[in-house]
Amino acid sequence: MCLCECDHCICVSHTGKENTVLRAKVKAYKVSVIPNAVDAYSFTPDPSKRDPNVITIVIVSRLVYRKGVDLMAAVIADMCPRYPRIRFIVGGDGPKMWLLQEVREQKGFQHCVTLLGSLKHSEVRDVLVKGDIFLNTSLTEAYCMAIVEAASCGLKVVSTKVGGIPEVLPDSMIYLTEPNVGSLVEGIEKAMEDIDKGNILCPFECNMRIRKMYNWMDVTKRTEIVYNNISLNKNNPLGLQLRNYLTCGVWPFLLVISLMYLLLKLTEKIYKKKHIDIARDYKL
């Protein structure tokens, strides 16, 4: 409803744009796709932090249903007994933390599952560099920053193929799976096999690729183009605004807009525009 009268929308993935156009009924030409970025200079690899005797799988996520914690717990319960070399490091907290704690205690996985709890963003890189594989089990995602940060640190990424995730990384840097336990386990096993065979990208090459693909200067320039274009737009008259709101299908909302418009006009009669100081436009 609020998007009906917006000048422009910015989505972080083409999947997000498609949902915005179809569900919010925003015209496609009013929606741009500009991905998020990561400071690849802060998320640098450090292979010396890895344990060569084990394969460490890192998970950094909010522990909520949408992040697929149920899948996460089932994957841990399936793989730890079959692969003694596997170690899981889980960073993050949330209402589903109890499930991972329960699996670890009931199955006796204290030696192979480490639960770090809540992490500051500044601590994430120090956790990521300990891993060989990064696991993302999200059930829905417009754009996953966590997998970009992990790839920047040189980890092999195994992730569910949902939302905008397939758009984020090239095939050489990610193993896409269906959001079910069997497919996730298969993806992790493929990543482990490639690690054992040495069929992996150099961690520092991964970091350089991320620097080129996702950087804040590029995002800033693209966002600035959008803002410069819409700054030339003029405000629509009330009649056209009401016609645009009709597309949302909520008729009572038109009465609210009309009432607010009348209140605004009344306020302008009481407090004249000419008596309000206008901020100066400073050129940077």
pLDDT in tens, 177-206: 999 999 999 999 999 999 999 998 999 999
Kindly state the percentage of the chain with pLDDT values over 90.
71
| Per-residue confidence band for 81, with pLDDT thresholds at 50, 70 and 90 | very high
Q: Which residue ranges form the domains of the chain, and what is each CATH number?
A: 47-214 (3.40.50.2000), 237-284 (no CATH)
Average pLDDT, the chain: 90
The closest of 124, 128, 135, 111 to 59, measured between CA atoms, is 135
pLDDT grade for 264, boundaries at 50, 70 and 90: confident
Query: Bigger pLDDT: 250 or 125?
Result: 125
Q: Which residue in this structure is represented by tokens 């993806």?
A: 187
Nearest CA to 184 among 68, 44, 21? 68
What is the rounded (10 degree) CA torsion for 96, 114, 91, 86? -100
Only one residue has tokens 């422009």, namely 8
**What gap in Å lies between CA 272 and CA 257, rounded to an integer?**
22
- Note the residue count of the chain: 284
Q: Which helix (H) or strand (E) holds 115?
A: strand 113-117
Question: What predicted TM-score, i.e. pTM, was given to this entire model?
Answer: 0.84
The DSSP result for 46-89, as a single string, is -GGGS-TTSEEEEEE---SGGGTHHHHHHHHHHHTTT-TTEEEE
